[in-house]
Amino acid sequence: MSLNRRGSVVRGLFYPYGHEECAEKIDYCAVSDIDVKDVVFRAGIVPHAGWDYSGPTAGKVFAAIKKHVNPKTFILFGASHGYFGPPALMAEGFWETPFGDIEIDSALSSRLLEQVDGLKENASAHDGEHSIEVQVPFIKRLFPEARIAPILVPAHENAFALGAAVADVARNDDSVVAIGSADLSHYGPRFGFAPKGTGRQALEWVRNVNDKRVIELAVGMNAEAIVSEARDRHNTCGAGAISALVAFAEKIGARRGVLLEYTTSHDVRPYGEPVDFVGYAGIVY
């Protein structure tokens, strides 16, 4: 895979392969009924499961952003499922989408590498990771002229410091928006995490206790507590991405997040009693 063009690796799996199918799905998902006047949303948290499950939740975030601002660049803080090194930025080139390639903002990337301690240029870290890839078609479809700066953020304790430093570079440019890509609790025997057994009581515990804890941290701007919370409670897949995103949002002036939607994979497709399921949240700042 070329370091200058990151090809799709989960197209046809996590989201449709064809152009028309992707367009229809995004147009269906990207609906916002939020009515907040005189607010510019410059950051958001989205889930990264397959679109059939988490697409509508992610779509609400992108639609809310589009309602208030037309970003020129999206900084994408991605969860890392298999890369555990320092935060990794793909600094130049393109990403493939069903709607054509989307360009990396190489000028912003250069400034980030110069000014953000601990951030490394590492395109290959992105090769097999889906957490950012599933967001990029939304951006290309809804903001066709926008560019991206994709950063993988493993769940390191200092992820919040990365997000704050990135905000220092971008804070005075209202055309830059940041997105954090993360799912919440992966619950059930399939995931090796079922402290409340299975069934309705387990689903309610995840909704009202386990996922609620990390959502409250994210909405309440407590970036420094998110990684340890996820480690202790197993309620976040992408704690580093959320921590960085919340710190970014706070540094650019956000005082609180707005939870647009919370759901689970069981709510989306309720087959039988709840056994194995994943939580999803869409939040804007």
Report how far residue 62's alpha carbon sits from residue 66's, in angstroms, rounded to the nearest whole number.
Answer: 6
With beta carbons less than 8 A apart as the criterion, state whether 235 and 185 touch: yes
pTM listed for this prediction: 0.96
Statement: 5-284 belongs to CATH 3.40.830.10: yes
Cβ atoms of residues 31 and 65 within 8 Å? no
Low-confidence ranges of the chain (pLDDT < 50): 1-2
What are the pLDDT digits (tens) for 98-119?
A: 999 999 999 999 999 999 999 9
Tokens of 33: 């009924």
Burial class (CB within 10 angstroms; exposed 0-12, middle 13-18, buried 19+) of 208: exposed
DSSP state letter for 11? B
pLDDT for 188-223, tens place per residue? 999 999 999 999 999 999 999 999 999 999 999 999
Cα(148)–Cα(103) distance, rounded to whole angstroms?
A: 7
CA dihedral 66, 177, 218, 183 (to 10 degrees): 80
**Domain range annotation of the chain:** 5-284
Q: Angle CA(48)–CA(242)–CA(278) in degrees, nearest 5?
A: 40
Token couple for 42: 């410059």
